[in-house]
Structure 1
């Protein structure tokens, strides 16, 4: 880090170089993270670059302050006015860099707190938390070097200018303080013995603190770490106090005012911040401030469970997943459902036979027609484009309340023409009856769909998939309650990244488990996720409906025994990833009460026709996601399709033709309704 200083125009050139390096390092670091989504994680490669840029930034900033104070006319006048030695100048520069670092830390803390503390206190995260941990870690190692440099010049009469030159010229030597005898430079180990506390502090924060934020915390507690960053709020005032002391201004008004401000900032950010963070946590989990224990069922109330159909997000994608390759999920289909008012919603579905699909009942309830896109990994390029009006919701599902989360949320869709199987379009085997109530706890499963990338997040038209880890029904019921999580439910949460999940727009899609023989089975149909202030990315489990317990109903409706299905096509196989991500998974909750599920008698009286209804539902005027409660009777609403979707449909000839036919159907129904009222 040694720099060669010269006088005259050369030091101006050096200052320009330092400014360019300093500003360039900061701008490059900002560009590395500016395009990230809030929930993104910082990769090791990106983080290593941020640390290198941080080291360049803090070192060049320190040297820039030194050059400005020691080798410019203004700096010379400043030193002369306050009678500053070389060591005192370096000490002031060190304190100014410390103030700049503290300002960056406070800005980071404000961003993290504003994002994470207003969502899920424990599980919401913002990339700035990790990004500045990588960038700021360089400061603590730089500061060890800079403090040693200050120590050398404060304990000796070595001239800073001469230490930067091996053979200074006569003109350069004239800038020195005289011909005094130079004492021996103290070694770094001497400094370590002289300042052990500050050295251990820097090594602890820059080493263990960095590892804890990046790795050991597992992505949890981002809001709490935002308050840790905000603790640096008092540091600039502490640094200013040291600078004023070096300038001999201890009796000035500025020193007194700064001292009072420093005490207030220290009280706010280092004393009161921790109790306030505890208050936020108690509110997040629904506890009193002084409660000492809680049960897992207090984590999230049942009213924050919500269906994951989203009429505005049918083109979005799954959370923290990967784009699917052709043929990787050939059983996945996209459904577009239209109600009597022309409102359009989107869901996923599963091919289980040439003429039958399985999806969620809340997707098909009260719909008059369903458009099926099959054999696709992109919404605009399906191999088959079909329309059907025949579907069967499970008899216990109340079709008049499709927005209300209900158990047994499963439906069969009958296709008007058989599918033509291909490499990209194949059925998937349904969970066998022998595994109806199997405990898949801790087993790895996969989900796919066109759902949102995160709660209220961006949209995409590509099929996405993600690894999840199954959760026992007992653990899931402790969060959502036994009303929603029954023996016919299977739950799954993130595999190794907290935000991995299904989300709005994934309803009716598959949860797949691969048997030891390598055969994929449909073990769940996407039903609901945590809603309210939690959201898809919170790390809480998502719930799916097991198809296994419904085999007798499937057979009664379709006449097909799916336990022994043998279609005339070639053997069906689904491409499954051969390896799992090579990262360690996050541990699941350990306080799980295990219970034995009690089988429930399944009604076997199916509807004789497609369950449609003429009840009209007023379109909602709000864009917010509905908060669903299972303890009250909510009103069911349907939203009309957005203008953006309409413009996309016009460009699709097949969909345009469908809407024309649909318009005729709607007009006929409306006129018939008016006629019956007059009668």
Structure 2
């Protein structure tokens, strides 16, 4: 009696230890991830801890069920009722653990699909997908050991062997039993023998647990989370498969439960293992806007300028799934309204890159007669600056005679007649440097903004909108758009909602990246999106022109080194603002020099208009130097007068410095003018008549 009591106490202690280990490991695993945000990644350290806790959880669960079935009164009655051997018990408990793992996997799949598939089919992720991959990988390692234990019991069948021997024993039964035990011990297969006996199962578990869960989940970088959620849901049929095996061990194949379970097993297997994959492909085809059987096709997608693309199916309230901007949030944003020779008006965006210059897309300015510029604008009716310009420069390789054809090098500069005055709500933006001109952007979070349309063929909004996007490499973009993607292109697609994009009216607008130094940098000029049946909301990337590769051309046009632009440049430019109005009344006698000089730059201007317009452009357009001779003449005369009047107060050295400064300015202006003549035939320079 005492040994029996001792064994009972031992089994109760084992039960408590196993229960504590089982519940504690699960709670600890949950505690490791409960504080994470949905899109957080699981680090290797945290993942290793989850795998260790998973081993403890599944192993302790298996042993806990074995102790309950083999060493408790209820377990003994259960075994006796269904005439179960020790091997049968281990096989049943192994299948129960498998069903528990499948239930946890399905729960994870539901969480991941509800989160990721409703946001960004490709990029949205939930930490549960990675967390359970680390935790669930432990099951496959544990299962190798548990199946070995089942194999040992089923092969040796110790209980059955002993009962048969005892019924046939004679007087020397004890000796025979001892001999039988020895025979059983010798017949117990080793783990290596089991591995050689079941190589397929062994390789399957090692591959799924080691590579399928740990390696793929970690290396995928959070991509394809929605698809991964459906992989978890494939386990929905596993509990019914396990129950089928358990009912078979209980000799209940003829029962209604076995029949119903079989039907459910076939149904869930068909839905989760057969239908789910085509359904995921269908979801992906809808995201791309492609016909179902073209989802995996390799043909490139047709493109079109943003303003030509119509949103076909989705009506949204912002730029496309973006937000309304607050005052001063995008102080460099410009709203352009361009008028063509027929009187038609179209809208584009742009960016203030200097107090006298706006950077936009060439297809926005091509063949336009005039344009109205609103800057420092959050609402179109309350701009910080409003002006008109007829002077713009399209990059020479852009064919302005075909403005409706998508082309590379879609870059243009617009000259402001009256320079802007910087305020808290109106600022210029730094242009991409030459060092980053051809940088491989991949996965960077950027911002696009504009006054683009907000519904199908609807009116453009009067309030500025903005949206997060995420950059993709040119190689990835070329897989969609083909040879149109060049080294001067940068592509960006939605951030976390498939429909996020620039759209009609956003062409020429900025694509902004906050650089490592914390300053916003203009890295793209909105140009095109997927055309045809796709549209802005398709989830495909949009194309932007990189400004960095054109810095040399910018300097030739403007005389400004944008890469080294600093506050000194701004202060030296400021006086031109104050002197713009004075020449209009005092230098009416000077046009004789400008009328002879002006036709060398543009042949479209008449002398009469030049004489009235020239004094204004003389001072404001010093960087472009279309009036190089007129600029120094009055200034040099005034300088001589001043030097004579102040001769007693300032020495000849100061006068020399002023003259040298004027000479340098004249030299720079003349050089720029010569360079501009080289592009005379390519540039479209218009003066208002």
TM-score if structure 2 supplies the norm length? 0.54
- Give the C-alpha shift of residue 64 in structure 1: 1.6
Single out whichever of 93-102 and 181-190 deviates more from structure 2: 181-190
Q: In the aligned structure 2, how far is the partner of 1:601 from the partner of 1:70? A: 91
Give 2:127's aligned residue. 127
Q: In the aligned structure 2, how far is the partner of 1:299 from the partner of 1:211? A: 39
1:268 aligns with 2:271: yes
Secondary structure of the structure 2 residue equivalent to 1:510: strand
TM-score if structure 1 supplies the norm length? 0.55
Aligned-residue Cα RMSD (Å) equals: 6.1
Give 2:64's aligned residue. 64
Relative to 1, partners in 2 of residues 1:391 and 1:66: Cα closer, same or farther, differing over 3 Å? farther
Give 2:385's aligned residue. 389
- Give the C-alpha shift of residue 248 in structure 1: 1.9
1:42 aligns with 2:42: yes
Instruction: Determine if contact 1:314/1:450 at 8 Å carries over to the other structure.
Output: no
Q: In the aligned structure 2, how far is the partner of 1:246 from the partner of 1:564? A: 78
Give 1:618's aligned residue. none
Instruction: Determine if contact 1:528/1:542 at 8 Å carries over to the other structure.
Output: yes
- Give the C-alpha shift of residue 542 in structure 1: 5.9
Runs of 5+ unmatched residues, structure 1 = 161-176, 316-331, 340-347, 373-386, 398-404, 452-463, 515-519, 572-598, 609-679
Give 2:560's aligned residue. 561
Give 1:54's aligned residue. 54
Q: In the aligned structure 2, how far is the partner of 1:539 from the partner of 1:16? A: 56
Q: In the aligned structure 2, how far is the partner of 1:411 from the partner of 1:27? A: 63
Q: In the aligned structure 1, how far is the partner of 2:446 from the partner of 2:96? A: 52
Runs of 5+ unmatched residues, structure 2 = 161-176, 337-348, 365-370, 394-405, 450-466, 571-679
Instruction: Determine if contact 1:354/1:419 at 8 Å carries over to the other structure.
Output: no
1:510 aligns with 2:509: no
* Structural mapping, 1:551-630, within 5 Å: 561-562=560-561, 569=568, 603-605=684-686
Aligned residues: 488
Q: In the aligned structure 1, how far is the partner of 2:470 from the partner of 2:296? A: 35
Secondary structure of the structure 1 residue equivalent to 2:323: coil
Instruction: Determine if contact 1:553/1:606 at 8 Å carries over to the other structure.
Output: no
Give 1:93's aligned residue. 93
- Give the C-alpha shift of residue 408 in structure 1: 6.2
* Structural mapping, 1:388-467, within 5 Å: 388-390=384-386, 428=430, 440=438, 442=440
Relative to 1, partners in 2 of residues 1:261 and 1:336: Cα closer, same or farther, differing over 3 Å? same
1:111 aligns with 2:114: no
- Give the C-alpha shift of residue 548 in structure 1: 6.6
Secondary structure of the structure 2 residue equivalent to 1:181: helix
* Structural mapping, 1:232-381, within 5 Å: 232-285=235-288, 286-289=290-293, 293-297=297-301, 303=310, 312=323, 314=325, 352=353, 370=377
Give 2:584's aligned residue. none
Instruction: Determine if contact 1:491/1:543 at 8 Å carries over to the other structure.
Output: yes
Give 1:670's aligned residue. none
Instruction: Determine if contact 1:249/1:255 at 8 Å carries over to the other structure.
Output: yes
Q: In the aligned structure 2, how far is the partner of 1:534 from the partner of 1:116? A: 22
Relative to 1, partners in 2 of residues 1:309 and 1:528: Cα closer, same or farther, differing over 3 Å? farther
Give 1:546's aligned residue. 547
* Structural mapping, 1:135-150, within 5 Å: 135-150=135-150
Relative to 1, partners in 2 of residues 1:178 and 1:352: Cα closer, same or farther, differing over 3 Å? farther
Larger RCO, structure (CA 8 Å, separation 6 or more): 1
Instruction: Determine if contact 1:58/1:139 at 8 Å carries over to the other structure.
Output: yes
Instruction: Determine if contact 2:15/2:64 at 8 Å carries over to the other structure.
Output: yes
Instruction: Determine if contact 2:311/2:537 at 8 Å carries over to the other structure.
Output: no
Relative to 1, partners in 2 of residues 1:61 and 1:551: Cα closer, same or farther, differing over 3 Å? same
The structure that is helix-richer by fraction is: 2
Secondary structure of the structure 2 residue equivalent to 1:186: coil
Q: In the aligned structure 1, how far is the partner of 2:226 from the partner of 2:148? A: 35
Relative to 1, partners in 2 of residues 1:359 and 1:223: Cα closer, same or farther, differing over 3 Å? same
Query: Which structure's CA Rg is the greater one?
Result: 2
- Give the C-alpha shift of residue 605 in structure 1: 4.1
Q: In the aligned structure 2, how far is the partner of 1:299 from the partner of 1:6? A: 81
Single out whichever of 272-281 and 56-65 deviates more from structure 2: 272-281
- Give the C-alpha shift of residue 139 in structure 1: 0.4
Secondary structure of the structure 2 residue equivalent to 1:42: coil
- Give the C-alpha shift of residue 222 in structure 1: 3.7
Secondary structure of the structure 1 residue equivalent to 2:69: helix
Secondary structure of the structure 2 residue equivalent to 1:295: coil
Relative to 1, partners in 2 of residues 1:43 and 1:527: Cα closer, same or farther, differing over 3 Å? farther
Give 1:28's aligned residue. 28
* Structural mapping, 1:95-244, within 5 Å: 95-118=95-118, 121-156=121-156, 181=181, 183-184=184-185, 185-211=188-214, 213-215=216-218, 217=220, 219-244=222-247
Relative to 1, partners in 2 of residues 1:356 and 1:448: Cα closer, same or farther, differing over 3 Å? farther
Secondary structure of the structure 2 residue equivalent to 1:296: coil
- Give the C-alpha shift of residue 266 in structure 1: 2.3
